[in-house]
């Protein structure tokens, strides 16, 4: 009788896994996703985003700073105005399209997942965040 060896386990790249977690954490906020949706249609100033999303200027600025630090958003200055845009629009569009397909395949199971609930969670964000 011969003993079968278990197949080797793949090595987990902890650095890459951490980077993925950081990226998804940056994308895990409904306000940041709404900002990205608005920027997907073109450049916006903070004041435009404040108006479109009906949020405080400080909230918009805080989330834009996070997205900018993560490399997802870039800014250009024109006079006294700062214009924000997506740093990698095609890649982000593909990522969000893939997420949409995954949500279509899993239905509302993500929304109902109790493991994702935490004290600061809000009602699930609607997938129909308006784009102005």
The predicted-structure confidence for 29-55, as pLDDT tens digits, reads as follows 999 999 999 999 999 999 999 999 999
Nearest to 36 by CA among 70, 83, 85: 85
pLDDT at 16: 93
Phi, psi of 78 (to 5 degrees): -135, 105
Give dist(CA 28, CA 3) in Å, integer: 46
Domains of the chain by start residue, with CATH: 26-116 (1.10.10.10)
Asked whether the predicted pLDDT for residue 126 surpasses 80, the reply is no
pLDDT > 70 fraction of the chain, expressed in percent and rounded? 83
Tens of pLDDT, residues 63-109:
999 999 999 999 999 999 999 999 999 999 999 889 889 988 988 77
The structure tokens 């834009």 sit at 64
pLDDT at 51: 96
Asked whether the predicted pLDDT for residue 26 surpasses 90, the reply is yes
Mean pLDDT of the chain: 85
CA–CA distance from 109 to each of 2, 37, 105, 106, 127 (Å)? 44, 23, 10, 6, 14
CA angle 94, 66, 112 (to 5 degrees): 60
Asked whether the predicted pLDDT for residue 124 surpasses 90, the reply is no
């Amino acid at each position: 009788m011969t003993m079968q060896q278990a197949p080797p386990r793949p090595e987990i790249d902890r650095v890459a896994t951490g980077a993925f977690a950081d990226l998804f954490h940056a994308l895990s906020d409904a306000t940041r996703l709404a900002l990205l949706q608005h920027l997907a249609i073109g450049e916006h100033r903070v004041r435009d985003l404040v108006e479109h999303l009906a949020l405080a200027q400080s909230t918009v600025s805080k989330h834009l700073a996070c997205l900018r630090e993560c490399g997802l958003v870039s800014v250009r200055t024109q006079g006294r105005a700062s214009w924000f845009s997506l740093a990698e629009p095609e890649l982000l569009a593909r990522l969000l399209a893939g997420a949409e397909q995954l949500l279509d395949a899993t239905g509302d199971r993500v929304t109902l997942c109790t493991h994702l609930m935490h004290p600061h969670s809000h009602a699930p964000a609607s997938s129909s965040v308006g784009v102005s």
